[in-house]
Amino acid sequence: MEVPSLQGLGIEYGLLTMEKRAKLSEKHRVLRIAIPKEISNEERRVAVSPAGVHTLVSNGHEVMIGADAGEAAHFPDIEYADAGAQVESDTATLYGACELIVKVGPPSEEELKLLQEKQILISALHLGETTPDFLKRLMDLGITGIGFEFIRDSDGTLPIVRMMHEIMGSMAVQIAARYLESSEGGKGVMLGGISGVPPSNVVILGAGVVGEWAARTALGFGAHVIVLDNDLGALRSLEHYLDRRITTAMATEQYIRHAVQTADVLIGAMMTAGQRSPIMVSRDMVASMRDGSVIVDAVIDQGGCIETSKPTTHSEPAFKENGVIHYCIPNMPSNAARTATYALTNVLVPYLIKIGEVRSVNDALWTDVGLRNGTYVYRRHLTKKSLATMFGMPYRDIELLIASGI
């Protein structure tokens, strides 16, 4: 439930502080921005809220949004129209009329066919599902592809990833609590226990942002929390932030195996930015868990870190293997569509405005380190070494491409 005095003020109107039209500089250009309705993976989020659209329009840009794009997040078309967007029911027209496409999930096969030469595409990439053919298609079209997973600011933070990972960590525990209930086929236990009954064991693989917010939420439920990672510094920091209320251990095979055997809930949160998640829990480790235990692989969009995990959908979110419930939805924040849309808007809109403040995308990439780091295809070249290594493809350094003007 939203708190009007706080969330309404901070989110609904927080982006409207730039409503006043400023005199456009000579370098400023009008962007034609498309926000399509998401059609894949039962995605409920939309890339930009009506408040964000209002900000873009107030800064001199033209916005076209797919009809019913915000419906699942409870943003009706009329709110987008009132914010200054053109609501378009024909997806082909939307893609054909705009130079910059901003969306949540990567383009589907159907949407790939609608992309135009030299467009800018800003979206998630979902490394666990990315293929060489997808990347080659973008390169053939001369697309400038900017991925949520790669946008890294000068201070080293990944702003979009962090926002989504905070949501994922919190949701992972909420979801696990529900699936532990008898009605869902779980063990029939509460995370926090009650007087005289001990709490459940929640084991979290990974001390990054997902792991941190999962630990915070699990502690709020009253669970006993164990966090494992192979980065001692990250474990030390997390212990400090959470006032030593968690148990930590290095993610060695011995510690993982022991922790998994005693886990009522196992949350997969082990990942490295821009790379596929490592497999940390083997099939035989999962088989050692007790019937009715719950696994939430929160990094399945990056390939997952548990061997028995496989992507699920919102309509069929869970499956059982070896008596253990697995929940592995790649776009987990989609179930908090409104909150996630606000979070995306807060990060994406300033980047879109920056692109419009310079003469070309080349200038935008040169002047903004976040956008430059986020670019994975540019001028028909792959520009991420991690993707090149993953798929055995050549790549070119983004800074050299920008500087050379090739």
293-305 confidence digits (pLDDT tens)? 999 999 998 889 9
Count of other CB atoms within 10 angstroms of residue 277: 25
Distance, in Å, from the CA atom of 138 to the CA atom of 153, rounded to the nearest integer, reads 24
Please tell me the predicted confidence (pLDDT) of residue 40: 83
Please tell me the predicted confidence (pLDDT) of residue 17: 41
Q: 167-329 — its CATH code?
A: 3.40.50.720
Please tell me the predicted confidence (pLDDT) of residue 106: 92
Distance, in Å, from the CA atom of 351 to the CA atom of 54, rounded to the nearest integer, reads 15
CATH domain 4-157+335-404 topology: Rossmann fold (3.40.50)
Q: What residue spans of 144-290 are helical by DSSP H?
A: 159-179, 209-221, 232-241, 253-262, 283-287
Instruction: Identify the weakest region by mean pLDDT among 36-45, 180-189, 228-237, 248-257.
Output: 36-45
The reported pTM is: 0.84
Please tell me the predicted confidence (pLDDT) of residue 11: 41
Q: What is the 3-state secondary structure (H, E, C) of 263-280?
A: CCEEEECCCCCCCCCCCC
Is the pLDDT confidence value at 47 over 90?
yes
Please tell me the predicted confidence (pLDDT) of residue 28: 72
Please tell me the predicted confidence (pLDDT) of residue 301: 84
Please, is 288 exposed, middle or buried when counting C-beta atoms within 10 Å of its C-beta (0-12, 13-18, 19+)? middle
pLDDT band at 26 (very low <50, low <70, confident <90, very high): low
Question: Is 314 marked active-site?
Answer: no
Largest Cα–Cα separation, the chain = 71
Write the DSSP string, 353-367.
HHHHTSSSHHHHHHH
Write the DSSP string, 317-385.
-EEEETTEEEE--TTGGGGGHHHHHHHHHHHHHHHHHHHHTSSSHHHHHHH-HHHHHHEEEETTEE--H
How far, rounded to the nearest angstrom, does the alpha carbon of residue 245 sit from its chain's CA centroid? Answer: 28
Please tell me the predicted confidence (pLDDT) of residue 108: 92
Per DSSP bridges, beta strands 265-268 and 294-297 are parallel
CA angle 148/308/314 to nearest 5° reads 55
Please tell me the predicted confidence (pLDDT) of residue 230: 94
Sequence ranges of the domains in the chain: 4-157+335-404, 167-329
One of 54, 126, 165, 224 is an active-site residue; which one? 126
CATH topology identical between 4-157+335-404 and 167-329? yes
pLDDT band at 14 (very low <50, low <70, confident <90, very high): very low
The tens digit of pLDDT for each residue in 307-352 reads 999 999 999 999 999 999 999 998 899 999 999 999 999 999 999 9
What is the pLDDT averaged over residues 187-206? 95
Sign of CA dihedral 53, 58, 64, 67: positive
Instruction: Identify the weakest region by mean pLDDT among 116-130, 222-236, 246-260.
Output: 116-130
Is the pLDDT confidence value at 7 over 50?
no
Please tell me the predicted confidence (pLDDT) of residue 13: 42
Is the pLDDT confidence value at 25 over 70?
no
Residues of the chain with pLDDT > 70: what percent?
92
Sign of CA dihedral 250, 256, 260, 261: negative
**192 — phi, psi (to 5°)?**
-95, -5
Count of other CB atoms within 10 angstroms of residue 273: 14
Structure tokens given for 166: 């905070």
Please tell me the predicted confidence (pLDDT) of residue 216: 97
Q: Which of 286, 261, 285, 281 is nearest to 270 (CA)?
A: 281
Is the pLDDT confidence value at 138 over 60?
yes
What is the pLDDT averaged over residues 142-165? 92
One of 77, 229, 264, 301 is an active-site residue; which one? 301
Report which of residues 16 and 51 the model is more confident about: 51
Tell me the residue type at 110.
E
Please tell me the predicted confidence (pLDDT) of residue 27: 60
- The rounded radius of gyration (Å) of the Cα atoms in the chain is 22
Is the pLDDT confidence value at 98 over 90?
yes
Question: Is 28 marked active-site?
Answer: no
Please tell me the predicted confidence (pLDDT) of residue 1: 41
pLDDT band at 272 (very low <50, low <70, confident <90, very high): confident
The tens digit of pLDDT for each residue in 103-115 reads 999 999 999 999 9
- Helices 159-179 and 337-356 cross at an angle (nearest 10°) of 170
Is the pLDDT confidence value at 406 over 50?
yes
How far, rounded to the nearest angstrom, does the alpha carbon of residue 405 sit from its chain's CA centroid? Answer: 32
Q: What is the rounded average pLDDT for all residues in the chain?
A: 91
